[in-house]
Amino acid sequence: MSTNQSLKPLTLQTNAGGNLQIGGCDMVELANKYNTPLYILDEYTIRSICNDYKTAFKAYPKVNMMYASKALCTQAVSAILADEGFGFDVVSAGEIYTVYKGGVDMSKVVFNGNNKSFEELNLAMQYGVGRISVDNFFELSLLNEVAKSHNKIADILLRITPGIECHTHEYIQTGHLDSKFGFDLTRIDEAVELILEQYRNLKLHGLHAHIGSQIFETTIYSDEIDILIKELARLDEKFGLKLDEINIGGGLGVKYTENDMPPSTYDIADKIITSLNKNIQKYGIEAPALFIEPGRSIISTAGVTLYTLGSSKQVPHGKKYHAVDGGMADNARPSMYQAEYSAQIANKPDAENSCEVTIAGRFCESGDILIKNIKLPEIEEGDILCVYNTGAYNYSMASNYNRVQKPAMILVNNGQDDLIIKRETLDDIISHDIIPQRLK
């Protein structure tokens, strides 16, 4: 079984004290030490999925693993992934700066995004970002001017829209024709002509496509590769371009509930490598370097979030609600995507799940519901709820709604707990506020 097919961190167990333990650390003790809500990351699980990817793709000689930083971007996470030999897919100045400060080799970074600013492109050139995935005609012109001002050549990929629709939530489909991302296939030649004839400070290396997120299908990767390799061959025939890179994005799904059955890294690797070899032979081109950008599948399973249970409400002839001290501000996915999660009571994991309850958040929205209709033991005020598979897009999408501070994040490994993101303080909340002098 691949790590992405696990519902829980690989080091999870019940310890001698009867509490959940991850990375050799007692979850109840961590909740008491650092307070809740609290994000926890298991380093062993992160490194295990990295090893799965490297092993699964070793049959193809030219593979570049690029962690999709949008899933969770911190300096500590960047350091772990860099240590595992991964490059990074970044989408903002903030992510560029984070991986840079995390000690990442910037030549192994791809800068992606559909509306990069002058300041962001300038920062990318300043820090020596290895590839910029150009999304549109406006960016081609802008990046050429930025690169010219640095007296550099910008190494680029063209992001294309392959016209493939995968069966995920409509908000996280990115490869179908009606998408804000990338050049339509009918406009690729126009872009290439501009690069060859006008934009002398751009060097095109290959094509980039991304087909979506939380993908459970495997054949869709074969379809994507067929389109990309066919385009490489066609551009070579028409323009004499020997493009030698394809970036197929990421998107492999993970297991949020027992009903989820995602394919493994080995399943998709087999499909991708088989399709590459077949299409390389079919279209008669040299084997290109393959870039793949897993994000969620790298970090999600490694993460849990701890909450303290507080108030409750029994609706007459209806649901029983139990509220936690967090919610949509630290996990926007249930309200945004109708995402489902699994959880246990950390201080009584072996107790019988005798009650069906709905876990509500603390924020002032009726839609702030974390988990609907989950079976848990009888809940008491002060119990610690451990929600699984929260490593991806929870902290990344966190907000200060209701002026609530963002939680801390802890990295656990071999019985050691390390603070990698501090809990925000009330002073942090108001740190950017300014009262005009006329109001004082």
> What is the pLDDT, as a whole number, of residue 174?
43
Place of tokens 């371009």: 241
Indicate whether 437 belongs to any domain: no
Work out the percent of the chain whose per-residue pLDDT is above 90. Answer: 91
289-318 pLDDT tens trace? 999 999 999 999 999 999 999 999 999 988
The mean pLDDT of 12-16, rounded to a whole number, is 97
How sure is the predictor about 179, in pLDDT bands with cuts at 50, 70 and 90? low
181-208 pLDDT tens trace? 789 999 999 999 999 999 999 999 999 9
Residues 305 and 387 grouped into a single domain:
yes
Q: Is the pLDDT of residue 170 over 60?
A: no
Indicate whether 435 belongs to any domain: no
Indicate whether 439 belongs to any domain: no
| C-alpha distances in Å from residue 228, one per residue of 114, 160, 189, 210 | 19, 9, 14, 11
396-405 pLDDT tens trace? 999 999 999 9
Domain of residue 391: give its range: 3-42+301-429
Indicate whether 436 belongs to any domain: no
What is the b/e burial string over 163-175, where b = at least 16 CB atoms within 10 angstroms of the residue's CB?
bbbbebeeeebbb
Residues 226 and 305 grouped into a single domain:
no
DSSP-derived secondary structure for 329-345 = TT--HHHHH-----EEE
* Cα(394)–Cα(330) distance, integer angstroms: 6
Q: How, if at all, do strands 355-360 and 320-324 pair?
A: parallel
325-340 pLDDT tens trace? 999 999 999 999 899 9
Tokens for 92? 């903002």
Indicate whether 440 belongs to any domain: no
Work out the percent of the chain whose per-residue pLDDT is above 70. Answer: 96
> What is the pLDDT, as a whole number, of residue 182?
84
> What is the pLDDT, as a whole number, of residue 165?
61
The mean pLDDT of 409-438, rounded to a whole number, is 98
Place of tokens 């297991």: 255
The mean pLDDT of 332-360, rounded to a whole number, is 96
**Whether this model's pTM surpasses 0.85:** yes
Tokens for 431? 């740190």
Indicate whether 85 belongs to any domain: yes
62-85 pLDDT tens trace? 999 999 999 999 999 999 999 999
How sure is the predictor about 163, in pLDDT bands with cuts at 50, 70 and 90? confident
Tally helices (H) and strands (E) across the chain. Answer: 12, 21
Catalytic residue among 25, 73, 364, 386: 364
The CATH number of the domain holding residue 84 is 3.20.20.10
Q: Is the pLDDT of residue 176 over 70?
A: no
What SS3 class is residue 171? helix
Q: Which domain-ending residue is among 284, 299, 314?
A: 299
* Cα(74)–Cα(245) distance, integer angstroms: 28
| Known catalytic residue at 73 | no
225-244 pLDDT tens trace? 999 999 999 999 999 999 99
Q: Determine if the peptide bond prior to 334 is cis (ω within 30°).
A: no
